[in-house]
């Protein structure tokens, strides 16, 4: 059929889009820096850039090397024993053997909804956590589809990719704050050398960018997050050579309209983007959505 989708094409297309999107964030970062330099002089430009880079990198690096521990602790995850969850272990072992990946550490979290997430900076330091609801409600084929999706995030180094994105977005947000606060203090601190009309224009442009840039790059960051979900779906099909299990699992997830009490209590908004589907089941399909609509993911999988 002419409307069939190749998982290879889907993977390469979404990876290219993710790269172009992160490039666009970097371009915004450079333009913003140039405008600050023109508006406030090279000395201020250097100070602002150095401060924003140091603050952002310290914050992100600490989170990057402890991302798995932070995520697991926040949802009160427990290590999944082989004796209690043999199918879980056997499915992951089979997928890892087929894909040539090291087996990640396996965890569970108490929750009646079907969901899962992966974390860790690389395949050698990775974890997978699934809800008890997923282990109870999914059959072997469906569970393998979900686990293949999570292994794809690990294989595609999505945590590392999203960390780079977070560094750039964080730096832009910090630059914006420093720039706006420095304008406030310079305006009320007796500095009156604002006679240069060109400089005033650049200050106005800088203020506009300081307000808009963090919003724009956050929207781009969410778009990248959605693209990585599509890539993980396609990579899962590549792993198990069939879209059936993942498609059926997503249909079951889509039929769960109620957020479980455990999810409301244990999952923070910071960890929510890691999950396979939005744990809070928000029907946000716009620019600020962290996940693509499940219906769209199902349609794409059904065409593979």
Stated pTM of the model = 0.74
47 and 22 share one domain: yes
The arithmetic mean of pLDDT across residues 186-194, rounded, is 47
Bigger pLDDT: 293 or 49?
Answer: 293
Boundaries of domain holding 120: 68-158+226-302
CATH code (residue 297): 3.30.2010.10
Residues 143, 76: one domain?
yes
Q: Is there a domain that residue 218 lies in?
A: no
The residue-averaged pLDDT of 34-40 equals: 70
Question: Which tens digits make up the pLDDT trace of 248-273?
Answer: 999 999 988 787 777 777 777 767 77
Do both 72 and 61 map to the same domain? no
The owner of tokens 């889509």 is: 254
Task: Dump pLDDT digits (tens) for 126-179.
Answer: 899 999 999 999 999 999 999 999 999 988 888 777 766 766 677 777 777 777
Average pLDDT over residues 62-82: 80
| CA dihedral for 174, 52, 21, 250, sign (positive or negative) | negative
Q: What is residue 60's predicted lDDT score, i.e. its pLDDT?
A: 63
Residue 180 lies in a domain: yes
Residue 2 is assigned to a structural domain of this protein: no
Residue 213 lies in a domain: no
Q: Do 99 and 114 have their domain in common?
A: yes
Tens digits of residue pLDDT in 3-17: 666 655 666 775 677
Give the number of domains in the chain.
2
Q: Which residue, 178, 208, 238, sits at the end of a domain?
A: 208
> What pLDDT score was predicted for residue 284?
56
58 and 72 in a single domain? The answer is: no
Mean of the per-residue pLDDT values of the chain: 79
Whole-number pLDDT of residue 221: 75
Task: Please indicate, yes or no, whether residues 182 and 298 belong to a single structural domain of this protein.
Answer: no
Closest residue by Cα to residue 152 from 21, 20, 15, 298:
15
What pLDDT score was predicted for residue 192? 45
pLDDT score for 297: 92
- Residues 60 and 202 placed together within one structural domain of the fold: yes
In a shared domain, residues 195 and 255: no
In a domain, 260, yes or no: yes
Give me the pLDDT at residue 18, please. Answer: 66
Residue 251 has a pLDDT of 95
Both 100 and 47 in one domain: the answer is no
User: Are 270 and 289 found together in one domain?
Assistant: yes
232 and 292, same domain (yes or no): yes
Active-site residue numbers?
Answer: 150
Q: How far is CA 220 from the centre of its chain?
A: 11
Q: Are residues 77 and 131 in the same domain?
A: yes
For the ranges 10-14, 82-86, 239-243, 247-251, which has the lowest average pLDDT? 10-14
Q: Does 296 map to a domain?
A: yes
The confidence score (pLDDT) of residue 2 equals 45
């Amino acid at each position: 059929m002419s409307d069939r989708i190749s998982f290879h094409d889907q993977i390469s297309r979404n990876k290219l889009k993710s790269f172009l999107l992160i490039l666009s964030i970097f371009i915004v970062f450079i333009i913003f820096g140039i405008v600050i330099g023109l508006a406030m002089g090279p000395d201020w430009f250097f100070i602002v850039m150095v401060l924003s880079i140091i603050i952002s990198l310290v914050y992100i690096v600490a989170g990057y090397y402890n991302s798995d521990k932070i995520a697991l602790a926040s949802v009160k995850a427990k290590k999944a024993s082989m004796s209690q969850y043999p199918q879980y272990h056997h499915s992951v072992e089979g997928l890892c053997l087929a894909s040539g990946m090291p087996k990640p550490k396996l965890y569970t979290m108490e929750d009646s909804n079907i969901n899962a997430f992966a974390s860790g900076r690389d395949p050698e330091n990775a974890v997978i956590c699934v809800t008890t609801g997923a282990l109870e409600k999914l059959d072997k084929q469906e569970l393998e589809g979900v686990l293949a999706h999570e292994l794809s995030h690990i294989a595609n180094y999505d945590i590392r990719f999203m960390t780079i994105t977070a560094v750039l977005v964080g730096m832009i947000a910090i630059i914006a704050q420093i720039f706006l606060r420095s304008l406030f203090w310079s305006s009320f601190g007796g500095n009156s050398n604002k006679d240069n009309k060109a400089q005033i224009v650049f200050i106005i442009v800088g203020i506009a960018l300081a307000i808009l840039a963090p919003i724009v790059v956050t929207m781009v960051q969410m778009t990248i997050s959605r693209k990585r979900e599509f890539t993980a779906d396609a990579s899962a099909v590549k792993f198990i050579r069939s879209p059936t299990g993942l498609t059926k699992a997503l249909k079951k997830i889509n039929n769960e309209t109620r957020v479980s009490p455990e999810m409301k209590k244990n999952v923070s908004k910071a960890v929510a983007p890691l999950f396979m589907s939005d744990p809070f089941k928000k029907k946000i399909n716009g620019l600020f959505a962290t996940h693509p609509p499940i219906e769209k993911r199902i349609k794409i999988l059904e065409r593979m």
